[in-house]
Structure 1
Amino acid sequence: MPRILVTIAFFILGLGVAQAEEKIVMVPHTAIYDLQLETASDKSGISGLVGRMAYEFNGSSCEGYTTRFRFVTRIDMTDSPARLTDQQMTSFETANGKEFRFVSKTIIDQEVTSETDGVAKIAKGEMVVNLKKPKEKEVKLKSAAFPTIQTIEVIRQAKAGRHFYRTTLFDGSDDADRLTDATVVIGDRVEAKADNETKVMGKLGNEPYWPVTISYFNDDENQDGLPVYRTSFLLYENGVTRDLVMDYGNFSVRGKLQTFKLFDVQPAKETCKE
């Protein structure tokens, strides 16, 4: 998922060797979610929100993982004109979790307001981020998880019956020069229940899932210890997510799965070529 938008460079409490070695197969797919305003406080100044999120995931544990993401919203404001926001990101992540390439762009009312372009590499317990945009520079950070590895690890923890852990991640967001701390809460596994989203998923809608909530923290932005934002979703063992809620504090957005398609892929090989 976007920011939402997860060796394994995790700071995980109590992760055992058996779980770390278990193979998780993420299914290549494309998913489109319709977005609606869930809640909004008076402080937010938001009177309405509609939009759409498109997410494309491809790759394998041999080839690495490619993600394309687009998040478009129209936000109606109480005391100012409506605002159209278009966020786009493309990334590639090596299967061993050691390298992450990313390009992103944010457009507000047809004006590009931010761009990032760079590559992050992990070696010897340290991450080095080489950026082309927003300006050329090198950033050194501590080792952390990249987005797909984060998702795989959430699935591992869920399958192991663990309900809470902390982690640190890097996803190339903002100016791509910092890490984000996160806490992950995983509910009990839920057997399939038919609804409009599971109908869209076809046979995969018959699989069980876990409710997951991830809270993201950044002391530079929120020094009161509260999360910068929080995302909740239903997570399947194959990496598919649905019924998303993105909570930014003063307002929240719900995303419902409207279109889902699996990519035609070759059966996974037992071993990868060096």
Structure 2
Amino acid sequence: MRATRLAFHAVLLPALFAVAPAFAVPALQAHRAVYDITLDKASDRSGITGISGRMVYEFNGSPCEGYTVKFRMVTQIVTGDNTRLTDQQTTTFEDAEGKTFSFVTKSFVDQNLDKEVKGTATKETKGLKVDLDKPERNSIELAATQFPTQHLVELIGKAEKGENFYETNLFDGSEDADKVMATTVVVGKKADADKADPEAPALAKLATDKYWPVDIAYFDDTDKSGEEVPEYRISFKLLENGITRDMVMNYGEFSMTGKLVNLSLFDQSKPCPTK
């Protein structure tokens, strides 16, 4: 389950540009968002009868300092007579020029460490080089791509221009950190907030902010079978400042919802110094 990627777009998260970017970078709000996770739908084939949990996403940084994301999602998954507790913890950093992306992810099952993936991805002339430290030292060459914050900044830019459909790609270090994901993005028209929105109390002063409805489908960029079936998709409401809410995470056999229940806004970083 690629929970990290969900956070970056719902999170899942910022493109880093030079001190004097060639185009306007949206003012991404540093924040901590807490979401309640519940089961939306599940097929008989999935065997899942219940999902509950919590996701915490913390975003900090600026276009001159780079961006740090801390993410954790704990879920209790019920399948028949079995109940399993999963815990994924991820920390990432994107440098200020968008050239390197470091990541570490620890996955626990029933409080026992199941997997740890740690490494750094570096953009090179011909593509992306991924140097892994864990689970074992290895170097991987992948196609040219962008990192999570770049993906988010691109999305906000497209939405501002009224572009409602586009395709792009992404590397976020999730799972085994050995793939570039192709994404298909659909952006709806900007909508007014609903005063009766159940997430309004958590949004507080942002409760009246307009939002874009967004749907993103993720495909394995290395899959040449031609089936064109997404590995999963996520839909959410996106604010201009990069905060996401009202998520639906669809894995085909089952889907989960993520509802914002608490939001803390951090002080913004100082403007980048001029040369």
Q: Same fold (TM over 0.5)?
A: yes
Among candidates 206, 209, 214, match of residue 207 of structure 1: 209
Q: Which runs of 5+ in 2 are unaligned?
A: 8-12
The answer as to whether partners of 1:215 and 1:231 remain within 8 angstroms in 2 is: yes
Matched position secondary structure for 1:192: coil
Following TM superposition, by how much is the alpha carbon of 1:238 offset from its aligned partner in structure 2, in angstroms?
0.3
The answer as to whether partners of 1:53 and 1:72 remain within 8 angstroms in 2 is: yes
The answer as to whether partners of 1:25 and 1:61 remain within 8 angstroms in 2 is: no
What residue is the counterpart of 1:249 in the other structure? 252
Percent of matched pairs sharing the same residue: 45
Following TM superposition, by how much is the alpha carbon of 1:96 offset from its aligned partner in structure 2, in angstroms?
2.4
The answer as to whether partners of 1:20 and 1:156 remain within 8 angstroms in 2 is: no
Deviates more, 1:106-115 or 1:180-189: 106-115
Deviations 1:20-69 (A, max 9, x none): 71221111000000011000000000011100000000011111100000
Distance, in Å, in 2 between the alignment partners of 1:31 and 1:154 is: 20
What residue is the counterpart of 1:43 in the other structure? 45
Q: 1:55-134 to 2 correspondence within 5 Å? A: 55-78=57-80, 80-134=81-135
Distance, in Å, in 2 between the alignment partners of 1:86 and 1:130 is: 25
Letter in 2 for 1:235: L
Among candidates 240, 244, 250, match of residue 243 of structure 2: 240
Deviations 1:71-98 (A, max 9, x none): 11001102x4111110110000113221
Letter in 2 for 1:97: G
Deviations 1:82-134 (A, max 9, x none): 11110110000113221100000111112222111000011224211110011
Deviations 1:159-208 (A, max 9, x none): 01001111111000111111111101100110122222122112222211
Q: Which runs of 5+ in 1 are unaligned?
A: 10-18
Distance, in Å, in 2 between the alignment partners of 1:176 and 1:109 is: 23
RMSD: 2.0
The question of 1:225 aligning with 2:224 is answered no
Distance, in Å, in 2 between the alignment partners of 1:71 and 1:185 is: 26
What residue is the counterpart of 2:56 in the other structure? 54
Count of paired positions: 261
Matched position secondary structure for 1:162: coil
The answer as to whether partners of 1:243 and 1:254 remain within 8 angstroms in 2 is: yes
Q: 1:125-274 to 2 correspondence within 5 Å? A: 125-194=126-195, 195-218=197-220, 223=225, 224-266=227-269, 268-269=270-271, 271-272=272-273
**Do the aligned partners of residues 131 and 190 (structure 1) sit closer, same or farther apart at CA in structure 2, a change above 3 Å counting?**
same
User: TM-score when scaled to structure 1?
Assistant: 0.90
Distance, in Å, in 1 between the alignment partners of 2:4 and 2:243 is: 12
Distance, in Å, in 1 between the alignment partners of 2:66 and 2:200 is: 28
The answer as to whether partners of 1:52 and 1:72 remain within 8 angstroms in 2 is: yes
The answer as to whether partners of 2:4 and 2:90 remain within 8 angstroms in 1 is: no
User: TM-score when scaled to structure 2?
Assistant: 0.89
Letter in 2 for 1:77: T
The answer as to whether partners of 2:25 and 2:153 remain within 8 angstroms in 1 is: no
Distance, in Å, in 1 between the alignment partners of 2:179 and 2:51 is: 29
Matched position secondary structure for 1:176: coil
After TM superposition, the runs of 4+ consecutive aligned structure 1 residues lying more than 4 A away are: 219-223
Distance, in Å, in 1 between the alignment partners of 2:185 and 2:64 is: 27
Following TM superposition, by how much is the alpha carbon of 1:260 offset from its aligned partner in structure 2, in angstroms?
0.3
